[in-house]
Structure 1
Amino acid sequence: MGHPSIDYGRYPDRGILCVDMKSFYASCAAIDRGLDPLTVPLAVVADMNRKGSVVLAATPAMKKKYGIRTGSRLFEIPSAPEIVIVSAQMRKYLEVSTQVTNLFHKFVPKEKIHTYSVDESFLEVGDNKGKFGVPEETAQMIVDELKETFHLDAAIGIGPNMLLSKLCLDLEAKKKGIARWTYDDFQEKLWPVAPLSEMWGIGPRLEHRLNRMGIWSVGQLAKFPLDRLEKTFGVMGNQLYYHANGIDLSDPGAPIIHGQVSYGKSQILLRDYQDPEEVKYVILEMCEEVARRARKKGHAGRTISLGIGYSKSEGSGGFHRSVSIEHPTSITMDIYHACLTLFHRFFNGGVVRRISVTLGNITEDANVQLDLFDDGRDKKRDLGYVMDEIRERYGQDMLLRAVSWTNAGTARHRSRLVGGHYAE
């Protein structure tokens, strides 16, 4: 059992599957060429015309035989006749990812699917025996269908919450294929973990600070006095303590899936963003895009969600939170201010690499009651539609906010890209 002072019976066992498609980009590229992704040494690079271009993915054979992996550079790839080097085709990978998500929907409702990245998703199947059996049986069926339908290999970590399912994936399932952690046995597998940066959510800088406090393993972190962690790290200290003890109350919270009534935008940034002000610039750009999509359909929404994913230098992790406002809106700044509220409340100061913004709880914009005491609000809504019309007629770059012309802005660059890389 975990920490003796924690009553694990109070916490839900959601039966979360963390599904990871192994070497996804590289596997898609290999399969598309009629090659076996498990045996061919293949690398996917961002730009074939730049010797310093980053390797986005590599097959297991490329990693094992040549030491080339994600993050390597094109010039590091040796010259060998059996090696296959391909340019990223992000549109193709996104199409396959969408098809995979549709496959997941055969096993769980759309609202129980959370797409963490192009190649990784969380599925909430419940802890008891359901339509497809216990979670392990459901996981095996998903692995089998991914292999049969897409020729993709997958690993699945199972846990009572998102954190433990992700840790189970990273620390055990990626070696075994399928593994499950419970509140009864997680400490045997998690607490010995060291260095601390091996744990999801702890990066090198945080690890160094914890080491200075005499904390070298996850078990030591789990048993460290909570009040001292909170005094040193604030809210982050509370999260560190409970995560080390296997507690995570994060709601998987479904992203935008075809057919779901909501509008969203997510992107993996082209570089690490260390300055919170720069992160806010990108959030504003994304709120603009989400509002535009809603207005295009004549919709407004009451629930705004913000997702922040931290860089690998921070140990990954992040948060996904939502807030509901009194009146439905399609106004960019309404959505942005709601996102700022969430950002200021949950942001831990880490380096950011992934951002998502969602507008949900949708209604018809025309049915939104006008505010008799705020004529400016109605003008802002109308202005949004006028700006959309100008962009539709003359191009998306015709009207951009000033932040889009800063080094932090991404809107100008994204207009030519898919998934942060050239589409074709």
Structure 2
Amino acid sequence: MPKANKRIIFLIDMQSFYASVEKAENPALRNQPIVVAGDPQRRSGVVLAACPLAKAYGVVTAEALWQAQQKCRQLVVVRPRMEHYLQVSLDITRIFQSFTDQVEPYSIDEQFLDVTGSIHLFGNDPLQLAAEIRQRVWLETGINCRVGIGENKVLAKMACDNFAKKQETGVFWLKREQLADTLWRLPIEKLFGVGSRMKRHFHRMGIYQIGQLAALRPAVLIRHWGVNGEVLWRTAHGMDDSPVSLNEYVTQKGIGHHMTLPRDYHTAKEIKVVLLELCEEVCRRARQKERMGQVLSVGCRGANLAPEEGFGRQMKLAEATNDAMALYEAACCLFDRHWTGGPVRSIGVTLGQLVPDNVVQLNLFTDTPKRRSLAQAMDDIRARFGPDAILRAASALESGQARERARKIGGHYK
């Protein structure tokens, strides 16, 4: 039984979420290896989700669809239905809310639950409650989920990712007092917050297991990575004070939009069409949140989507803005300064250092109120008639992506 002074946090992950939704709603797919993938005709054929049967052939998420089809000749490809997946995710959230009012979506297929205050209503046993929640989700949606349990969010997350997914029960309770026999035995890349680049840094330091990092003094990691070094040390020791909160995403630090292009773009003229569309979308979302930003970031990647083939740079604007043309002019300056002329396959724009938009610095050379009124009118038209109801003329060019993007959610077809 858990001690009274410890929280009980669940991280619940839906197994192969998109693929599971498709199988649950189409019995003909139940015993077939399937993947949910983008449109291969537009070179966006990337595996978004693979069912366990497909994974048994070596198919993995995020690989090119043609590679997956080579591994499994009988693979069934289903195009994504993002609006529907969002609705199913909301339905699952409502199931969780019948067990606790402390539910925090972490992604479309992962959610944190704090059951500390409600577990006594369900038998006071975290393992039994996790099994009951899994059964409810299965009976009501046909989707299998896995549950990681811990006294905080980071333990629950690592319990799910590293252990629950490998258990027949689909549940694992990761306890701080047992880290030496569980988490610390795993490779360093299994630590939450350690990506491929950080993994290489640790390997150069001779650190290959999480336990080796946990044995270091925090000062060693702080000297290398500052505050992030201490965060990694605390994570290795299962320490995390962050609450499960419905307001987790209210204090947004930046508003950005990134796009993978359907082909290589080679000229500045066609790339800047997409830059304009990105600035338009970022500023629309900023106005929707009643925010302006004073730091602009622009990044792009080359033909193989490799970071070394592109750039990522930022600049401080003269004044905070959510005006698309002002942002576009600054974005073009950054792009012209840092683009080396190579092909561009993906590009993104982010507006940071956000402030409320109710105070504006007037400019003698710019009719700011008129531009704000025009932007608001365009926002109202799009809100009423759709995102492609009114577009800039540049979007009618072959390089424009605004019309195609209007048909998608999160970069995938609705």
Q: Structure 2-normalised TM-score?
A: 0.66
Whole-Å separation in 2 of the counterparts to 1:282 and 1:218: 40
Aligned-pair distance for 1:120?
Answer: 1.1
Change in Cα spacing, 1:229 to 1:136, as seen in structure 2 (3 Å) is: same
Change in Cα spacing, 1:287 to 1:375, as seen in structure 2 (3 Å) is: closer
2:66 pairs with 75, 80, 84, which one? 75
Letter in 2 for 1:289: R
1:240 pairs with 232, 242, 260, which one? 232
Change in Cα spacing, 1:180 to 1:256, as seen in structure 2 (3 Å) is: closer
Aligned-pair distance for 1:214?
Answer: 2.8
SS of the residue corresponding to residue 149 of structure 2 reads strand
What is aligned with 2:217?
Answer: 225
For the pair 1:119 / 2:109, whether they are aligned, the reply is yes
Whole-Å separation in 1 of the counterparts to 2:160 and 2:148: 4
Alpha-carbon contact 2:119-2:129 (below 8 Å) kept:
no
Letter in 2 for 1:131: L
For the pair 1:42 / 2:17, whether they are aligned, the reply is no
Letter in 1 for 2:18: Y
1:27 pairs with 12, 20, 23, which one? 20
Aligned-pair distance for 1:238?
Answer: 0.9
1:187 pairs with 180, 183, 207, which one? 180
Change in Cα spacing, 1:264 to 1:202, as seen in structure 2 (3 Å) is: closer
Whole-Å separation in 2 of the counterparts to 1:30 and 1:108: 28
Alpha-carbon contact 1:13-1:127 (below 8 Å) kept:
no
Whole-Å separation in 2 of the counterparts to 1:156 and 1:384: 45
SS of the residue corresponding to residue 131 of structure 1 reads helix
Aligned-pair distance for 1:225?
Answer: 1.5
Change in Cα spacing, 1:242 to 1:379, as seen in structure 2 (3 Å) is: farther
Aligned-pair distance for 1:224?
Answer: 0.6
What is aligned with 2:145?
Answer: 154
Aligned-pair distance for 1:69?
Answer: 2.4
Letter in 2 for 1:248: D
Alpha-carbon contact 1:391-1:399 (below 8 Å) kept:
no
The alignment of Structure 1 onto Structure 2 pairs a total of residues equal to 335
Whole-Å separation in 2 of the counterparts to 1:52 and 1:288: 25
For the pair 1:205 / 2:215, whether they are aligned, the reply is no
Whole-Å separation in 2 of the counterparts to 1:89 and 1:264: 29
Letter in 1 for 2:245: G
Task: Give the alignment's Cα RMSD to 1 decimal.
Answer: 4.7
For the pair 1:101 / 2:79, whether they are aligned, the reply is no
Change in Cα spacing, 1:159 to 1:285, as seen in structure 2 (3 Å) is: farther
Change in Cα spacing, 1:265 to 1:114, as seen in structure 2 (3 Å) is: farther
Deviations 1:368-394 (A, max 9, x none): xx98x9899999987774453354578
Letter in 2 for 1:33: N
Runs of at least 5 residues in structure 2 that lack an aligned partner in the other structure: 261-276, 292-305, 308-320, 324-346
For the pair 1:59 / 2:51, whether they are aligned, the reply is yes
Q: Which has the larger radius of gyration?
A: 2
Runs of at least 5 residues in structure 1 that lack an aligned partner in the other structure: 1-8, 272-280, 295-299, 302-312, 315-330, 334-351, 360-364
Alpha-carbon contact 2:176-2:238 (below 8 Å) kept:
yes
Q: Structure 1-normalised TM-score?
A: 0.64
Alpha-carbon contact 1:45-1:87 (below 8 Å) kept:
yes
Deviations 1:270-326 (A, max 9, x none): 56xxxxxxxxx979955742642x6xxxxx79xxxxxxxxxxx99xxxxxxxxxxxx
Whole-Å separation in 2 of the counterparts to 1:284 and 1:132: 50
Change in Cα spacing, 1:88 to 1:381, as seen in structure 2 (3 Å) is: same
Sequence identity, in percent? 32
Change in Cα spacing, 1:164 to 1:79, as seen in structure 2 (3 Å) is: closer
